[in-house]
Structure 1
């Protein structure tokens, strides 16, 4: 269905009306809603990257959308396609996005989320993949970021410093 729609001129960046999709409120933290020119409703790419089931077919959809010019840097409630792939353990989609030149792995997310790197390291999501897999993805993120961790603002909520000490 996705292929048929795209072949017949569907806009891969078409957005739904803004709603509560993908909104994350960290426990005991104030959300600082920061305006971003990228923020708006969810896109098909957001949905494909957020899939927690049937990841094989969602990867095909993500690939089709990227080939048709889908913008991986659009945000929905602070989340980019890359950050959604990171927090749902959709690792193949995450690697596909990281290999796409338009993807900004160091993009500052809105709603106080920091970046995809921050979410990958966040304790809330550490249970979704092994420690080794998190390290592999972290290396890929750092490699694709133009200056590595230099100048990268890492946001760790609730004074949790273990993640930063581990990275350093």
Structure 2
């Protein structure tokens, strides 16, 4: 798990610290490095985007998922909330149906795109809403934790939109002044 990796990294740092203990600087001995500061500097994605996942490739992957699993689409557009672990189900589906014209990589690309779209996040921002499996049947519900995470991502996007709007307004006002 991720927590285990974090613990292992901090233990490694602690093992290196005794080497610097002989230093005369009191900062070394009394102020351990703050983990939260280093976390804020790094932007980490849950699933790193592959270099070959271009806009066109992603679009084609999503279209393949739409055609193979039309029952996962909502009537109003977008996709229904997907079951936790649906990628494992898709891997089993591929084993049973090797003739499928969608690879696991294409599936992962499409799901990465689908689950980060605004419409999907809005649907998953409500706890208790059913999630759906590959067969189109309900398979669990959106948990409160998942709903909070979706709301957090929506808030981040809203903040980014406001920042962009402010920057555009500043640019427009600067251009007017220069004229």
The answer to whether the superposition gives a TM-score over 0.5 is no
Provide the TM-score with structure 1 as the length reference: 0.28
Q: Which has the larger radius of gyration?
A: 2
**Structure with the greater relative contact order (CA < 8 A, sep ≥ 6): 1 or 2?**
1
